[in-house]
Amino acid sequence: MAKLKSPADLEKKRKEILSQRDPNKPCVTICSGTGCHALGSDKVAEAFVSAISQNGLKARVDVRRTGCHGFCERGPVVVIFPEGTCYLGVKPADVPEVVSKTLVDKQLVERLLYKDSSGKTLAHEGDIPFYKFQSRIVFGNNTRIDPKNIDDYIALGGYAALAKSLFKMTPQKVMDEVKRSNLRGRGGGGFPAGVKWETTRDAPGDIKYVIVNADEGDPGAFMDRSLLEGNPHSVLEGLIIGAYAIGSHEGFIYVRQEYPLAVENTAKALEQARKYGLLGKNILGSGFDFDVKIHRGAGAFVSGESSALMTAIEGKVGEPRPKYIRTAVSGIWERPSNLNNVETWATVPLIIDRGSDWFTSIGTKGSKGTKIFSLVGKVNNTGLVEVPMGMKLRDIIYNIGGGIRQNKKFKAVQTGGPSGGCLPESLLDLPVDFDELTKAGSMMGSGGMIVMDEDTCMVDVARYFLNFLSDESCGKCVPCRAGIEQMVEILNRICAGKGKPGDIELLEEISEVTRDASLCALGQTAPNPVLSTIKYFKDEYKAHIERQKCPAGVCKALTSFYILPDKCQACQICLKNCPVEAISGGKNLVHIIDQAKCTKCGTCYEVCPERFSAVAKISGEPVPTPVPAGTEVVRKKGQQG
């Protein structure tokens, strides 16, 4: 790899790479992000390599392991170019057929295609509803890039924005363009990136830092991971452009240590960028020096907070600072430091490439561009989705997400992670927009979008988040450490059926002080999950406190499992799976749960076949007296045990 010493060199390299690539040459891309990896994509990739070789196709077909494609529910995902044929849930055993049928005979393997509700198959990624309604301007390139090969990024136009910035624009012009685009931080804060850059640039001091925040601590959010794993150069390019605009020559990428693949791929990207002269001294011969270090987290959500992260980079314990001076002015070692989220940085090259006018044409008045969400929970199509700001929550959940799993009833959607809130069905027409979501009592957050259904207990959700925050609180300040502790205590009592009148008011009282007096945003936003669920789901709280009832049947202490004698078909599945052997019965005999032995693990509820649905969750009322042992089942027409 020879150093590229000018924009002309870069263009020459790009042409060289493209000339060696036939756009019509078949290329099998296998999603190799952590999600598909967990589903065995590695073995699928190996199977392709071997089958292609065995069929004598090695010279005629490329295999590329790419980053996350986003359709995590249906992984492992394989897309075959140039047609864009999309195969879902591919197993190693499917590979020989795909190779012979699709690669050789140019036929489709129907059973691996996406099927819509009418049974029609859709062969191209672009036609599948999950992808069709998205706007994958930042994330889309993941499907075409092997993150371990910088040439793939360059082939798609990578680093042209950097060359343009360094040679055709002054730092001020770059700054102006980003300001004009109104790019707001994608990490949760939503602060205008351009304004922060400017503050950092104007702050006194020659040494300034730029930082990528890849700590992504929100449970249920993995957008940054997939971006960093799948397209690290997009983030790096944005970072270098930002450094140029701000006047920084040293950067940090702070990655949580729970993301080993992201660390690995980022390190490789830095290495290759340096070899090409796109990072380090005299980038592309421009005279601009800039380099980057990777700093790993060590398992602390609070260390993802701006000032805490910077303290961690200094080698100290990553706790937030109580200062009132912005980190843009006084950050790492008290020097001006500009911190932005992974997605924010990855959007910068696009803005430089296509202009702020293009960027501002997407989105709403206050929120421009797109946002990547991790759409997870009780939704059919779990995965990473990128949509234009302004799209309605309803459209994301139903058009892209495919609605609620197992045809259950939607209950709430949670955004903003532990700092956010739950929104009920009545607010589903809200657009994804920084200010709209905040007004409704939630927030955009980093992008976690958790869909909840009738089987989700909202009091339990509040308890879950507060428990998480209690675990993650650094513990320095009283209102957060002790305030959250007491809120958890109250929520635990409520979920255990020991709620007292006045508990809701007490939660609100503590919330006020925790919100107003905490040292950092963790404490300040901690009350949000509690307050938003009290606001929209007060009935559930009241049911728990006044009637010891958990309407969703989640809180163990308030829920019993009961096999409905008129629905049981004696299939014995629950009997065999009960971990404490609490179910009696047999062939043709109604199954009965011994309530004294039952540990409420919920296995019977989960394994009872949907067509029988014979296990009921009982809460807030006594469990019916069991039928006598030896009672025979009532056979439904056409049902067999």
Partner 1 sequence: MARGDVKPAKGKTKIATKEQETSSTEQIIEKHNSDKSALIQILLEIQKQNRWLPHSSLMLVSDKLGVPLSQVYRVATFYKAFSLIPQGRHLFTVCMGTACHVRGSPRLLDRVEDTLKIKPGETSKDQKFTLETVNCLGCCALGPVMVVEGNYHGNPSPKEVEKLAAACD
Partner 2 sequence: MKKVKLNIDGKEVEAEEGKTLLEAARAAGIDIPTLCYNEKLAPYGVCRFCTVEISKGGRSRLVVSCIYNVEEGLTVKTATPKVIKIRKMLLELMLASSPILLETAKQYGIDKPRFQSEVTQCILCGQCVRYCAEVKGANAITFVGRGVNRRVAFVDEVVAKGVCMDCRQCYGLCPTGKIPRETDGAYFEGIKVSDVISRKKTK
Q: Which residues contribute to the site for partner 2 (CB under 8 A)? A: 300, 302, 322-324, 470-479, 481-483, 485-486, 489, 506, 509-510, 512-513, 516-519
Residue 386 C-beta: closest distance to partner 1, Å: 16
Asked whether position 316 contacts partner 1 by CB under 8 A, the answer is yes
Residue in 299, 586, 609, 624 binding partner 1, rule: CB under 8 A: 299
Asked whether position 386 contacts partner 1 by CB under 8 A, the answer is no
Residue 485 binds which entry of partner 1, partner 2, none, CB below 5-8 Å type-dependent: partner 2
Asked whether position 33 contacts partner 1 by CB under 8 A, the answer is yes
Asked whether position 448 contacts partner 1 by CB under 8 A, the answer is yes
Whether 213 and 341 have beta carbons less than 8 Å apart is answered as yes
Whether 471 and 302 have beta carbons less than 8 Å apart is answered as no
Asked whether position 464 contacts partner 1 by CB under 8 A, the answer is yes
C-beta atoms surrounding 101 within 10 Å: 15
Residue 171 C-beta: closest distance to partner 1, Å: 28
Asked whether position 187 contacts partner 1 by CB under 8 A, the answer is no
What whole-number distance in Å separates Cα of residue 231 and Cα of residue 269? 9
Identify the helix (H) or strand (E) that includes residue 130.
helix 129-132
Q: Any idea what the Cα angle at residue 223 is, between residues 361 and 236, rounded to 5°?
A: 75
Query: Contacts with partner 1 in 218-277 (CB under 8 A)?
Result: 218-222, 225-226, 257-258, 260-261, 263
CA torsion, ordered 602, 603, 607, 610, to nearest 10 deg: 0
Residue 477 binds which entry of partner 1, partner 2, none, CB below 5-8 Å type-dependent: partner 2
Burial class (CB in 10 A: 0-12, 13-18, 19+), 50: middle
Site string for partner 1, 74-93 (x = CB under 8 A): xx------------------
Joined tokens for residue 100: 């012979």
* Closest residue by Cα to residue 33 from 227, 191, 180, 279: 227
Residue 559 C-beta: closest distance to partner 1, Å: 11
**Residue 210 forms beta bridges with which residues?**
251, 338
Residue 618 binds which entry of partner 1, partner 2, none, CB below 5-8 Å type-dependent: none
Judged by DSSP in three states, 107 sits in coil
What's the residue count for the chain?
641
Asked whether position 372 contacts partner 1 by CB under 8 A, the answer is no
CA-CA-CA-CA torsion sign (64, 69, 72, 74):
negative
- Residue 7, preceding bond cis, omega within 30 degrees? no
State phi, psi for 519 to the nearest 5 degrees.
Answer: -75, -35
Q: How far is CA 537 from CA 459, 462, 480, 522, in A?
A: 8, 11, 24, 23
Q: Which stretch binds partner 1 (CB under 8 A): 35-43, 114-122, 135-143, 497-505?
A: 35-43
Q: List Cβ neighbours of 117 (8 Å cut-off, separation of 6 or more).
A: none
Q: List Cβ neighbours of 322 (8 Å cut-off, separation of 6 or more).
A: 477, 519, 520
Residue 239 C-beta: closest distance to partner 1, Å: 20
Residue 73 binds which entry of partner 2, partner 1, none, CB below 5-8 Å type-dependent: partner 1
Q: Which stretch binds partner 1 (CB under 8 A): 165-173, 200-208, 211-219, 539-547?
A: 211-219
Asked whether position 35 contacts partner 1 by CB under 8 A, the answer is yes
Residue in 486, 577, 584, 639 binding partner 1, rule: CB under 8 A: 577
In the 3-class helix/strand/coil scheme, how is 19-63 assigned residue by residue?
A: HCCCCCCCEEEEECCHHHHHCCHHHHHHHHHHHHHHCCCCCCCEE
| Closer residue to partner 1, CB minimum distance, 334 or 435 | 334
Residue 482 binds which entry of partner 2, partner 1, none, CB below 5-8 Å type-dependent: partner 2
Asked whether position 73 contacts partner 1 by CB under 8 A, the answer is yes
| Closer residue to partner 2, CB minimum distance, 399 or 514 | 514
Whether 448 and 398 have beta carbons less than 8 Å apart is answered as no
Asked whether position 287 contacts partner 1 by CB under 8 A, the answer is no
Q: Helix, strand, coil % (nearest 5) of the chain?
A: 45, 15, 40
Residue in 92, 187, 377, 551 binding partner 1, rule: CB under 8 A: 377
| Closer residue to partner 2, CB minimum distance, 57 or 517 | 517
Residue in 318, 424, 445, 483 binding partner 1, rule: CB under 8 A: 318
Residue 592 C-beta: closest distance to partner 1, Å: 20
**Residue 384 forms beta bridges with which residues?**
374
Site for partner 1, rule CB under 8 A: 33-35, 37-39, 72-75, 217-222, 225-226, 257-258, 260-261, 263, 295-301, 312-319, 374, 376-378, 382-383, 414, 417, 448, 450-452, 456, 461, 464-465, 468, 474, 577, 579, 599, 601-603, 606-607
